[in-house]
Structure formats: structure tokens, C-alpha cells
Amino acid sequence: MIIACCTDLAGKVRGKAFPATQFEKRTRRGVGWTPTNVQITCFDAIADSPFGSLGDLVMIPDEAARVRVDLGGDAGVEHFALSDIRHLDGRPWELCTRSILKAALDRLERVAGLGLFGAFEHEFQFADRGGVVGSAYTIGGFRTERRFAESLIGAMRAAGLDPDTFMKEYGAGQYEVTMGPARGVAIADHSTILRELVQALSEREGRHATFTPIRDPAGVGNGAHIHLSFLDHAGKPATWDPKGKHEMTRTAGQFVAGILKYLDSIVAITAPSVVSYLRLTPHRWSAAFNNLGFRDREASVRICPVSDLSDVAKAAQFNFEFRAADSAASPHLQLAAIVNAGVQGIEEGLEVPEATEEDLSLLDAPALAARGYVRLPQSLGQALERFQSNPTVVGWFPEGFADVYVKHKTGEIAFLEGKEQQEVCALYEATY
């Protein structure tokens, strides 16, 4: 069988299976889906839904996002296809995350004549691995998970992904996996596929890998870092300008400026869990302010280094990294929010921002404001309020999206009311 599936507002991948022999006809007629499914939170509670028991939709699987990987042994075959959710007359459904991203990418092409090129890098932890003192970034730490790493690299190749690196990260049982860049909607598709492959392979071994934003309030977090650049109509790199400010083209700089201007209003989408805001604090190598940093891993957007030693041209190497994100989110929604913010910056003709090389947490609120910086929301509730109260940001999404999204996340928050912080962390660890 094959599963037609999509990422949803909870950052989960949900879908429906059917015989693989029916795949071709299902790409035309789809497989049935229910609108209220969008309000299933990450804890399987149903948030306040405007749909109730009414309505019908179809998922249309995409051949270009079809994955078939033989996991070996009793694990069998992982076979699924990311899909677009549509109304019965064929129109994109207003809450289909993949369709929302496609609309944002169309806007980028229409406004700037550019295509998006990029990749997600992911951090995750094995919940069954304790902390081994002295293992951070070591070959010994890698050796512990060599079998898993090599299985994952093989699965990535089989799924059409381009494996890049795998390493033992700083945290207990924490690892990072990166992959080569893709174009357009495939950037988010590949992120989704990678997460599912990690989960499938860990389950094959009777283990639990978690992408939760943070397992332990006193420990390190798991980020999803999104590397982005642009291609022109000829497919050539269009982000680097050796004479530009920070070596960015003016368009790229305006795109980054848009991200920073609207960041505090989109972080509810890019970092959408209650525990995301335990991670988005100073000195966690994540992001706490709406700043551009020059090779600074605590900046929300970081200008990444290029190497004179590489055989790849600087124009092709050059990219920037969005760091105020984690894997509790739909990659499609994350990318849609980022792209819309960036295009808004281009449309508004924003000035290319300055890049910080300092600890902004040492500045007080007046000093931050004088330089155009704000502290990012410090709770999901605050983030939702800033999202919902910004008419520009709400206007990027289909009519009704913002109301449904806020209701969904409000339901997630309500499920956790009265629970201790450690229990909340444990719940997110289990679900992601």
C-alpha cells in the first residue's frame, strides 16, 4: 500500500493508505479527506473547529514527492506520497499547507523573478540514549550510531534526497543530519521526508527518535535551520553580490529585511509549540531577537560563510540561514511564512539590514528599540497574539486561515494547562 499524506497545522504528517496499484488514478481523482482533521492537535485532541462534521475534500498525491524505501527485514517498505488537499471541484483547499507554500513561491517569482533554493538541517535526539560525558562532536559519539547513520544515508538516497553530513551534536543522544539543497516546494517536501525516514528507521530498531524543540528545560534544544538562496530564470545563483552590503544582492537583502521586520509575527508558525519558547532564549545558540548576524549562531537570520578552498563558486555557496524554527512545525508552513515575509520586504523596498556581531541580550529595551530590534515572543500565547494582530501577515494567507490556526494552537495550549513544565516537555518529546 501507499499513503497519500500531508503536513498539517500540528506539524504532523497525516494521510490515508490505498493499494499502490491505484496510484495513477488517485493522482487524478484523489483519496477522501475530512476538513476537521486539520484541527487535530499534536496531542490528538480536536481543537475548536469551524467545520464540525461537515464537508469533504480529496488528497491528490504528487508523483514528484513519492517515496518508496525498503527498510529491510520485518520493517518492510516505507511507501508514501506527499499530496495537495483540494476541494471536490479541484480548487486548492485554503488550509492545505503545501498549496499555501506554492502560492508564496508563486508570489516570489511574480514579484522578484526568482526561484527559491535551499535545504533544512535537522537536530534530533534518541530518547533512549543518556548523556555520555565527553561525547559531544566526537568520533566516539558517531560510532555509537554508525549503523543508524549509514542506514539513514542509504534511505535518503533511495528517497531521492542528497545526503550531506551526520554528526554527534552537543546534547545527550543528540545528532544532526543535513542534506543538499532542492528547489521550490521540494525544499519542504525533503524536510518532511527526512523526518519520516528518521522515525521509521528508529522504530525499526525499537527506539524513539524525537525532534521535540526541547526535552529538558535545563538542556539543549533541537532546531530546524533553514538555508535559503535564490536562482534566476536560467537556474543560476542570484543571491551573492561581492559589491553588495554583506555581499548580498539588493533583492536578497530586502528579502532578509522583510523576514526580520515581520519575524515576531510569524514565529507562531515557525516555532509553534509551547516548549519552543524555552529554546528561543539567549545563549542557547537559537534565536531571541529579530537580528541578522554575520556568522552568528544566535542570530535569527545568519549570513553563512563561503570558503575560498571549495571547488564550488562563491555565488553557488552563498546563502543565509533562518534559525528561529523547529520541527514542531509543518516545513511547508514555515517556508510559506518566511517567503511571504521576505517578498513583503522586497515590495516595501526595505533597506538592507545591518549585521550584528554582539550579544544583544546585554542591551535594554530602549537600546534595542533605538536600533530597530525587538525581543521575540517569550511564549506561544504571545506569539499567537502578535500573529493574529498583524493584518499584513494575516493577509498573506487564505481567508480564514489565521482564525483556524489560532484556534488550533489555543487548543494545544489548553491541553497542557495545569501540567508541570517537565511533564509538558515529556509530552512533546513523545509526540515529536
Residues 72 and 123 in one domain: no
Terminal alpha carbon distance of the chain:
24
Phi and psi at 213, nearest 5°, equal -60, -30
Q: What is the mean predicted confidence (pLDDT) over 350-357?
A: 91
Residue 316 confidence class, pLDDT cut points 50, 70, 90:
very high
Phi and psi at 91, nearest 5°, equal -70, 145
Q: What is the mean predicted confidence (pLDDT) over 65-81?
A: 91
Residue 72 confidence class, pLDDT cut points 50, 70, 90:
confident
CA distance 432 to 424: 12
The pLDDT of residue 130 is above 70: no
Q: Which cell is 94 given? A: 485554503
pLDDT the model gives residue 351: 95
Q: Mean of the per-residue pLDDT values for the chain?
A: 94
CA distances from 305 to 69, 164, 297, 314, 367 (A): 34, 17, 12, 10, 29
Last residue of a domain, one of 93, 112, 134: 93
pLDDT the model gives residue 360: 87
CA distance 292 to 260: 8
Lowest mean pLDDT across 21-35, 81-95, 164-178, 361-375:
361-375
Residues 71 and 150 in one domain: no
Residues 188 and 306 in one domain: yes
Residues 163 and 281 in one domain: yes
CA distances from 270 to 324, 336, 388 (A): 7, 10, 14
Q: What is the mean predicted confidence (pLDDT) over 400-407?
A: 97
Residues 147 and 56 in one domain: no
The residues, ordered by sequence, that sit 6+ positions from 40 with a Cβ below 8 Å of its Cβ are 8, 10, 12, 14, 46, 47
Query: Which tens digit of pLDDT belongs to each residue from 262-283?
Result: 999 999 999 999 999 999 988 8
Helices (H), ranges, 273-364: 276-279, 314-317, 331-348
The residues, ordered by sequence, that sit 6+ positions from 294 with a Cβ below 8 Å of its Cβ are 246, 302, 303, 355, 356, 357
Asked if residues 1 and 18 have their Cβ atoms less than 8 Å apart, the reply is yes
pLDDT the model gives residue 104: 98
Residues 122 and 71 in one domain: no
The pLDDT of residue 306 is above 90: no
CA distance 38 to 48: 10
The pLDDT of residue 131 is above 70: no
Last residue of a domain, one of 93, 124, 155: 93
Last residue of a domain, one of 93, 119, 151: 93
Residue 305 confidence class, pLDDT cut points 50, 70, 90:
confident
Residues 268 and 368 in one domain: yes
Q: What percent of the chain is modeled with pLDDT above 70? A: 99
Residue 218 confidence class, pLDDT cut points 50, 70, 90:
confident
The residues, ordered by sequence, that sit 6+ positions from 115 with a Cβ below 8 Å of its Cβ are 105, 108, 109, 183, 184, 230, 231, 232, 233, 235
Residues 57 and 174 in one domain: no
Residues 162 and 126 in one domain: yes
CA distance 322 to 107: 20
Residues 132 and 53 in one domain: no
Residue 245 confidence class, pLDDT cut points 50, 70, 90:
very high
Residues 137 and 20 in one domain: no
Q: Which domain holds residue 275?
A: 99-431
Positive or negative: CA dihedral 281, 284, 287, 293: positive
What CATH number did the domain enclosing 16 receive? 3.10.20.70
Q: What percent of the chain is modeled with pLDDT above 90? A: 82
Counting the structural domains of the chain, the total is 2
Lowest mean pLDDT across 288-292, 327-331, 332-336, 418-422:
288-292
Residue 356 confidence class, pLDDT cut points 50, 70, 90:
confident
Asked if residues 123 and 222 have their Cβ atoms less than 8 Å apart, the reply is yes
**What's the predicted TM-score (pTM) here?**
0.95
Residues 89 and 103 in one domain: no
What CATH number did the domain enclosing 394 receive? 3.30.590.10
